[in-house]
Structure 1
Amino acid sequence: MMSPKDVVHRWVEAFNRADADALAALYADDAVNHQVAESPVSGRAAIRRMFADEFASADMVCLVENLFEDGEWAMLEWRDPLGLRGCGFFHIVDGRIVFQRGYWDKLSFLRAQGLPLPNN
């Protein structure tokens, strides 16, 4: 069985290939992915769609700065080539991600990617 750190290493590899199918395969059927700048996404199929949509709209790269493991949890500090930084927390049970929470600056991401800014 893969350790939480091993699962996150595979997650980063799949993310950097923009491979929504490989990413989805790392999640439990009823997993939740909550990027705090967005609404939570529930279920493997919905998480796959989320990644596919994101990869279609932006060129994203995850560069690992730190990766820690504690029991069933892995904590990832990352950056991208455009200067964005963030962190993710992955709860992993039996080799599958059951919960993920990520923190990053959505406004900086939109600006760096040249995407439309929200109207507030």
Structure 2
Amino acid sequence: MEPKTIVQAWIAAFNKGDADALGALYHDDAVNHQVANEPVTGREAIHAMFVREFATVEMVCIPEQIFQDGDWAILEWKDPLGLRGCGFFHVVSGKIKFQRGYWDKLSFLKIHDLPV
């Protein structure tokens, strides 16, 4: 699958809160680095991260732009509460090998009434 298609599948699974479907999109040794947090390495650890996050808050990803350049896809997104961000997805052989996300963690915590 093309990187843009993988990102569209990622958005669909994310918006359903489906950690299993999200985990299946990553390579066994993938890295997910949301720059506000430490990198998470490995499909199982990435799956566990999504399980924890979905148990904590309801999140929605509204895509504004999805670009593809070779084996990279770039997602610009917003959510209904006003948070915005972007993500970079390196897709190799139809699975996410590396993901980096940029968003404001302080705003996220405040919007969701979580401890700062």
TM-score range for the pair, normalised by the shorter chain length? over 0.9
In structure 2, C-alpha distance between the alignment counterparts of 1:63 and 1:113, rounded to whole Å: 17
Q: CA deviation at 1:30?
A: 0.2
What is the aligned partner in structure 1 of residue 62 from structure 2? 63
What is the aligned partner in structure 1 of residue 38 from structure 2? 39
TM-score (normalised: structure 1): 0.96
TM-score (normalised: structure 2): 0.99
Which string of whole-angstrom CA distances, capped at 9 and with x for unpartnered residues, describes residues 59-116 of structure 1?
1000000000000000000000000000000000010000000000000000000111
Q: CA deviation at 1:25?
A: 0.1
In structure 2, C-alpha distance between the alignment counterparts of 1:109 and 1:59, rounded to whole Å: 12
What is the aligned partner in structure 2 of residue 6 from structure 1? 5
In structure 2, C-alpha distance between the alignment counterparts of 1:58 and 1:115, rounded to whole Å: 9
Unaligned runs of 5+ in 1: none
Unaligned runs of 5+ in 2: none
Q: CA deviation at 1:47?
A: 0.1
In structure 1, C-alpha distance between the alignment counterparts of 2:56 and 2:109, rounded to whole Å: 10
Match of 2:95, as an amino acid? Answer: R
Q: CA deviation at 1:49?
A: 0.3
For the aligned residue pairs, the C-alpha RMSD in angstroms reads 0.3
Percent identity of the aligned residues?
A: 66
Q: What SS does the aligned partner of 1:6 have?
A: helix
In structure 1, C-alpha distance between the alignment counterparts of 2:23 and 2:69, rounded to whole Å: 23
Q: What SS does the aligned partner of 1:48 have?
A: helix
Q: What SS does the aligned partner of 2:17 have?
A: coil
Q: CA deviation at 1:42?
A: 0.2
In structure 1, C-alpha distance between the alignment counterparts of 2:5 and 2:65, rounded to whole Å: 13
Match of 1:41, as an amino acid? Answer: V
**How many aligned residue pairs are there?**
116
Q: What SS does the aligned partner of 1:37 have?
A: coil
